Chains A and B, each alone.
Chain A
Amino acid sequence: MILHDTQFLWLMGTLLGTMCFASAIGLILARRTTTAKGKEVVANLNARINSWWVMIAVFICAVLIGPTGSTVLFALISFLALREYVALSPTVRADHRVLLWLFWGILPLNYVLVGVKWYGLYTIFIPVYAFLWLQIRAAMAGVTEGFLDRTARIQWGLMVTIYFISHAPALLMLDIPKYSESGQNFKLMLFLVVVVQMSDVLQYVCGKLAGRHPIAPNVSPNKTIEGFAGGVGLTTLLGASLYWITPFSFIQAGAMAFVICLMGFAGGLVMSATKRDRGVKDFGALLPGHGGMMDRMDSLCFAAPVFFHLTRYYFM
């Protein structure tokens, strides 16, 4: 029973406290800010904080339901992310069948494989079989104009929004000695999600407070060297100090958090480049303040598979 896990309760208590603290700061800033530009930033900050409350509530509910709850939640996240991704990728009428397979066939099947813990098939299902089948199905549709462009776009979307994201609930299928027997894997998933999201938050906060020098001016003008260094440094410390919920030691947890931060940053960068290419600022408008689901998940997409495999290779 998850509710009897004291480590989980401590983590949730800390999270709740942090959120209350954030909301209080948002309230104070809203009262004190007078300039028009400042008001805009604070309004966005408060929209973000309010969205965080909703996201955390949904996530905790899913975790409390158990492995199925988490898997279904991430399937839904993939669904919403893919919906945004495909809306931005030009396709032709002939691709309709391919897209149907994507949404109603490959996506659910991928998460079923996660749910039944069939690692061997899960890990090759999308990169081998789904890729083969989608390419075949697209060729069968008979429209060759822009064939490679269209299919490549669809396949990358499949990779990012389904395969990569599903590595977060896939952590539940790992068999880690002295950890998994007592059903503690959900805390490993929490570690990943907390670290990757806190890395985004702390990079944002450090960037807003001290950001001067853009780190990638052509791709993402809001990302700064100061934000990156501060965010990654603080999150690595935070990750290390969360070692007690993981199978890692203090140093190992810090190293894992460091890798998660780097991959998360890379994910944000790649998705920014994608958005620039498509000429949009956000993927969608699902999460007020953040943008779309993909805008919140970009860092998790890249961090989840690497974290999964590092854990699987070194701790199983």
Chain B
Amino acid sequence: MLELILIFLTRLLTGAIPRSHGFQFEPVAQRIYYANHSSHLDTLLIWSLIPRPQRARVRPAAAKDYWWSSSWRRYLAENVFHAVPVLRHREHSDDNPLADLEAVLANGDSLIFFPEGTRGNGDAVQPFKSGLYYLVKACPNVSLVPVYIRNLNRVLPKGALLPVPLLCNVEFGAEFKMAENELKADFMARAQTKLEALIPE
């Protein structure tokens, strides 16, 4: 019920128009949906567009300092869209910040992930942090799906509390995998190019 309300609200606020560029949800596979990050609602928007049977096994990475900052947000994150909390600033330098996400992948679930780390200004995709590479390396069979979200930074920009309703396009690119023995720099560049290729003119 809450899930439906949340999806309805997301649709109401964003129109949530998915567009495929050679990507199909079927057949089911273990995937990392990686997207540009411009708003706290990114997580919710992508999650809401994944078909229902698959949605239960998709775990979005969500900023701990936002989604765990109030009791209702925390409730939604934990019980409705089953988010994985991600620390944007490491508390101890020897912690592996990806440990929780790797555990999710090891469990066979899919992930929604934002390789830029922090929210951008919505204009350009910032250089990826290396997290994406290490995640895929730990679970090399996972498929990668680039997702570009347009306009969402205008719905709920950095620092804003209330959202403005706007149509947002969500572009899904064709899935790909990491090549065997692919170098880190090559993989990172490839992943970034695939996402940037989805930016509409």
Q: For residues 150 through 173 of chain B, which have their beta carbon under 8 Å from a beta carbon of chain A?
A: 151, 154, 157, 160, 162, 164-168
Contact B166 A86 (CB under 8 A): yes
Q: Is the CB of B167 within 8 A of A99?
A: no
Picked from A87, A102, A285, the residue with its CB within 8 Å of the CB of B151 is: A87
Which residue of B17, B154, B162, B164 has the most chain A CB atoms within 10 A of its CB atom?
A: B164
Are B15 and A284 within 8 A (Cβ)? yes
Contact B164–A286 (Cβ < 8 Å): no
Contact B164 A93 (CB under 8 A): no
- Enumerate chain A residues within 8 angstroms of B17, measured Cβ to Cβ: 284-285
> In chain A, residues 254-295, which have Cβ atoms closer than 8 Å to a Cβ of chain B?
284-286, 292
In angstroms, Cα B162 to Cα A93, docked, is 13
B165 and A79 form a contact (CB under 8 A)? yes
Q: Does A84 contact B (CB under 8 A)?
A: yes
Q: Is the interface of B mostly helix, strand, loop or mixed?
A: loop
Chain A residues, CB < 8 A from B165: 79, 82-83, 86, 103
Residue of A nearest to B201 (CB): A279
Task: Say whether B167 contacts A84, CB under 8 Å.
Answer: yes
**A96 lies within 8 A of B15 (CB):** no
Tell me which residues across on chain A come within 8 A of B151, comparing CB atoms.
87
What is the CA–CA distance of A134 and B165 in the complex, to the nearest angstrom? 17
Closest B residue to A87 by beta carbon equals: B167
Judging by beta carbons under 8 Å apart, are B162 and A100 in contact? yes
Total A-B contacts with CB atoms under 8 angstroms apart: 37
Expressed in whole angstroms, the Cα–Cα distance for A96 and B151 within the complex equals 13
> Shortest Cβ distance from A141 into chain B, in angstroms?
12
Rounded to whole Å, the gap between the CB of A52 and the closest CB of chain B is 21
Q: How far is the CA of A102 from the CA of B163 in the complex (A)?
A: 12
- Would you call B162 and A87 a contact (CB within 8 A)? no
Alpha-carbon distance A193/B157, docked complex (angstroms): 38
Query: Which residues of chain B have C-beta atoms less than 8 A from A292's C-beta?
Result: 167
Name the residue in A79, A82, A96, A104 with the highest tally of chain B Cβ atoms < 10 Å from its Cβ.
Answer: A96
Chain B 13-51 per-residue mask, 1 if CB under 8 angstroms from chain A, else 0: 001010000000000000000000000000000000000
**Chain B CB within 8 A of A50 CB:** no
Q: Which residues does chain A contribute within 8 Å of B160, judged by CB atoms? A: 96
In the complex the two chains form, what is the Cα distance from A175 to B164 in whole Å? 37
Task: Give the residues from 68 to 85 in chain A that come closer than 8 angstroms, CB to CB, to chain B.
Answer: 79, 82-84
* Contact A83 B162, beta carbon cutoff 8 Å: no
For this complex, into which size category does the number of interface residues on chain A fall? 10 to 19
Whether A83 contacts B154 by the Cβ 8 Å rule is no
Bound Cα distance A100, B154 (Å):
11
From B157, B162, B164, contact of A86 by CB (8 A): B164
Q: How far is the CA of A104 from the CA of B167 in the complex (A)?
A: 16
Cβ–Cβ contact B167 & A284, under 8 A: yes
Q: Is A91 an interface residue (CB 8 A)?
A: yes
Whole-angstrom distance between the alpha carbons of A286 and B15 in the complex? 8
Query: B166 and A96: CB pair below 8 A?
Result: no
Residue pair A96, B167 in contact (C-beta under 8 Å): no
- Which residues 194-240 of A sit at the B interface, judged by CB distance below 8 A? none
Per-residue B-contact encoding for A78-114, CB less than 8 Å = 1, 0 else: 0100111011000101001001101110000000000
Q: Which residue of B lies closest to A76 (CB)?
A: B12
Asked whether A104 lies within 8 Å of B162 as measured between CB atoms, the reply is yes
Q: With CB as the reference atom, state the residue of chain B lying closest to A104.
A: B162
Chain B contacts for A284, CB-based, 8 A = 15, 17, 167
Check if B167 sits within 8 Å of A83, measured CB to CB.
yes
Partner of B166, one of A87, A104, A285, A286: A87
Q: A100-B162, A104-B162 are in contact. Are A93 and B167 (CB under 8 A)?
A: no
Q: Collect the chain A residues with CB atoms within 8 Å of residue B154's CB.
A: 87, 91, 96
Q: How far is the CB of A266 from chain B (nearest CB, A)?
A: 25
Q: How far is the CB of A57 from chain B (nearest CB, A)?
A: 19
User: Across the interface, which residues of A come within 8 angstroms of B168, CB to CB?
Assistant: 87
Q: Which residues of B contact A (CB under 8 A)?
A: 15, 17, 151, 154, 157, 160, 162, 164-168
Interchain residue pairs with CB less than 8 A apart (15) = A79-B165, A83-B165, A86-B166, A87-B151, A87-B166, A87-B168, A91-B154, A96-B154, A96-B157, A96-B160, A99-B164, A100-B162, A284-B15, A285-B15, A286-B15
Give 6 nearest A-B pairs by CB, closest first.
A87-B167, A99-B164, A83-B165, A87-B166, A93-B157, A96-B160
Q: A83-B15, A84-B167, A285-B17 are in contact. List 7 more A-B contacts (CB 8 A).
A: A83-B166, A86-B164, A87-B15, A87-B154, A87-B166, A93-B157, A96-B164
